[in-house]
Structure formats: C-alpha cells, structure tokens
Amino acid sequence: MVSSTAQANRKYPDMLDLKPVLGAIDAVLGSAARPVELHEPRFGQRERELVLDCIDSNWVSSAGKYVTRFEEMVAAATGARHAVAIVNGTAALHAALVLEGVEQGDEVLLPAITFVATANAVSHAGAIPHFVDSTWDTLGLDPQALEAHLDAVAERRNGAWVNKQTGRRLRAVVPVHIFGHPVDMAALGAVAAKYELVIVEDATESLGSTLGGKGCGTFGHSAVLSFNGNKIVTTGGGGMIVTDDEAHARHARHFTSTAKRAHAWAFDHDEVAYNYRLPNINAALGCGQMERLPAMVDAKRRLAERYLLAFSDFPWARIYREPEGSQSNYWLNTLVLEREYAAERDRLLAALHGHGIRARPLWTPMHLLPMYRDCPRSQLPVAEDMHTRCINLPSSPFLAESANKV
C-alpha cells in the first residue's frame, strides 16, 4: 500500500523530501571526513620512493626507466600487447586519431554524452565531431541507434562511406566506456565493419574494467587511457595509447616523440609530429599506483555494492549497475532519478553540496555546447534524458574502508 506522503510526492515532485537520499549516502560513506570529494587520489610510500628515485638520479623528463616500466604494466593490465605513454588523455586521443588515418574534414562518430576532451581531440585532428545517441544499457554509445542513423545518412561514393548530407568522409567511431561501464563492443564492431569505420576506444575511464573477461581498450585497433588526477590510477596528468599492432605502436612512439630518428647526437626528424611523451617522473608515480590497481578496483566495486544496497528499495532513484556480462571498475557511481523527478536534479545537487558531498551532474551533452551546436548529429533522446537524470556520487577507492566505520 502506498502511503499518503509517497502519493503526494509522486504527484508533486517539488515536495520531495531529500533527507532520505542524504541519509542513504551518509550510511555508505560512513566516517569519511566531510566534505567528500568526487574522486581523490591517494599516494603511499611506494609512490614517494619511485618519484624520489627520479629526482635523485636526475631522470625526470621523457627518457627514463619508469616510462618503459609504466607502459609494460599498463599493457599487462589491459591485455594489450603494446602501450605508449602520452602526456595526457586528450593528447593520446588526438594522436591516436591521426595515426589511424583521420584527416582534415573527415567526420568521426562519438556519443553526445562524454567529457568534452573526446570531441576536442576530434577537432584537434582537423575532423568534425558527429554525435550519436547513447543507451541506458551501458550509458555509452548505442550500436543500434548508430546503425539506424548511418543507414539513413551514409552512402557509398568513390569507394568510401560519406555523410550524404555533408559530403564528408565517415572515417572513425570513438566509443566511450562511460564511468567505467563497457560499451557493447561486439554490436559496435559489426556496425563499424559494415561502414568501414576504424574503432578508437576512449577507455580513459575504464582501466580495470572488462567485458566478457577482455579488458577495455583491447576491442579496437587502438585505444586511449587517461591518468588524470581523478582517475583510478593517476600520474598527475598522463595518458596512454594501447594496441596489439607492433608497427602501429612503434609509429605511435615515434610520432609522439617529435619524430626524431635515433642517433647519438644528430637532430633528424622525418615527419611533422608532436612532443607528447610522458615524463619519467610522472611515469614513476604511475608505476607505484599500478602496483595497487587490483586492490583499488576491488575497493571501488565494494563501494558500488554498498551504494546499490543503500538504494535497492529507494522509491524515486537508483544506482546504475554495471552492464550484463561486464565487470566495471565503477569509476564514478551514478545515481539515476526516475524520469518524473528529473526536475529535482539541481535541488538535490544543491542539498548534497550543502551536506558536504561533492556530487556532480553529467557533462553537458556535446551538441548543446556553443562550439559544437552546428555539428552533424542523430536524434539524441536518450542522451538528453540521461543529462537531466544522472548524478555522480563520491567514488574514491579509500571510501570503501571509510564505509565500514559508522
């Protein structure tokens, strides 16, 4: 039987009592000191030891043993054969797109719901972002919506697939594993093959996530990772290109190191390239962090289970659960409001911040940003719905330990 209060709340969303949601989150976070940030790094003695070794040895720039070690550790963790350390995730995606043959004036398909760096990297490559819809199944790019859209707008001209509305070549697709939840890569791969699109995975949020036992970042020809300060593993700032293609990895390393040909003293360069390599001192920090990756993924999954339990019977909101067949790193736990209460999102965010909980909404959809409003796009009903209903909650790995102290 539904109580009179619940009936009133359902009829009048502006009358929602926000205290229960604050109490549920308090129960999850336990003794964590307020304010609780969205995602914070934690460093220990091992990171300090490795960084000091860089300083003591004077190997602090892009040459040094920790760059190679970090690349090897990330490759092993993802299951990729090769990894190339880059100064940040945006630079990694920019370089990856260029290396995959994206050229000036091409169109690159990507979800409208993503961090702006995904679209920016496409623009930096001289290409045009082409936005497609997402699915509630994964929070990421919807392969079925992508196929339906391409069936309507793509046509074959002079041996290439083009957008018949713009005449531009359709070159690549960039799936983003949103908040660590894997996209349906089998379905996406079939659509990409049908339209001869190269896949460049944006796995910047999904280190430690798997789909069918296979690591995110290993489903396309190449992928990128991020080690920004808010990621599960951080180097302060940093990124990575991963691939199974040895020749591609070798070219990526050359291309992101100013295309300097190996020589004891000569400065000979053989293509216009970028100075995108990660410094050794940052890589040292990453090596220390990578040693704790399995423990951090485990902690984040335990924290997610506490959130899921706390909201399991909640009447007007739920915690997003990882897609079936996947194991997510739950980079950011996501509270999803029922559609009828979407108008409550900002009031709830204000209450959370006032309560010392640094929650945030989803990113503004790319097609609503001024610089991308005129870009080609499909219909985006799910992306726009997600934007109004989702809130990210504090998700730092150490909160799993704080949660046990109430």
State pTM to two decimals: 0.94
Query: In this structure, are 34 and 50 located in the same domain?
Result: no
Query: In this structure, are 215 and 72 located in the same domain?
Result: yes
pLDDT at 93 over 80: yes
Query: In this structure, are 281 and 300 located in the same domain?
Result: no
Query: In this structure, are 232 and 309 located in the same domain?
Result: no
Query: In this structure, are 392 and 259 located in the same domain?
Result: no
Residue 132 within a domain: yes
Convert the pLDDT of each residue in 207-240 to its tens digit: 999 999 999 999 999 999 999 999 999 999 999 9
Query: In this structure, are 280 and 335 located in the same domain?
Result: no
Residue 6 within a domain: no
- What CATH number is given to the structural domain containing 381? 3.90.1150.10
Query: In this structure, are 90 and 30 located in the same domain?
Result: no
Select from 232, 260, 290 the last residue of a domain. Answer: 290
- What CATH number is given to the structural domain containing 52? 3.40.640.10
Select from 257, 290, 323 the last residue of a domain. Answer: 290
Convert the pLDDT of each residue in 276-322 to its tens digit: 999 999 999 999 999 999 999 999 999 999 999 999 999 999 999 99
Residue 112 within a domain: yes
Query: In this structure, are 117 and 234 located in the same domain?
Result: yes
Query: In this structure, are 371 and 269 located in the same domain?
Result: no
Structural domain of residue 109, as residue ranges? 45-290
Convert the pLDDT of each residue in 41-92 to its tens digit: 999 999 999 999 999 999 888 888 999 999 999 999 999 999 999 999 999 9
- Total domains in the chain come to 2
Query: In this structure, are 345 and 246 located in the same domain?
Result: no
Residue 3 within a domain: no
Query: In this structure, are 25 and 161 located in the same domain?
Result: no
- How would you write the chain as a 3-class SS string? CCCHHHHHHHHCHHHCCCHHHHHHHHHHHCCCCCCECCCCCCCCHHHHHHHHHHHHHCCCCCCCHHHHHHHHHHHHHHCCCEEEEECCHHHHHHHHHHHCCCCCCCEEEEECCCCHHHHHHHHHCCCEEEEECECCCCCCECHHHHHHHHHHHEEEECCEEEECCCCCEEEEECCECHHHCCCCHHHHHHHHHHCCCEEEEECCCCCCCEECCEECCCCCCEEEEECCCCCCCCCCCCEEEEECCHHHHHHHHHHCECCECCCCCCCCECCCCCECECCHHHHHHHHHHHCCHHHHHHHHHHHHHHHHHHCCCCCCEEECCCCCCEECCCCCEEEEECHHHHHHHHHHHHHHHHCCECCEECCCCHHHCHHHCCCCECCCHHHHHHHHHEEEECCCCCHHHHCCCC
Select from 266, 290, 314 the last residue of a domain. Answer: 290
Query: In this structure, are 118 and 184 located in the same domain?
Result: yes
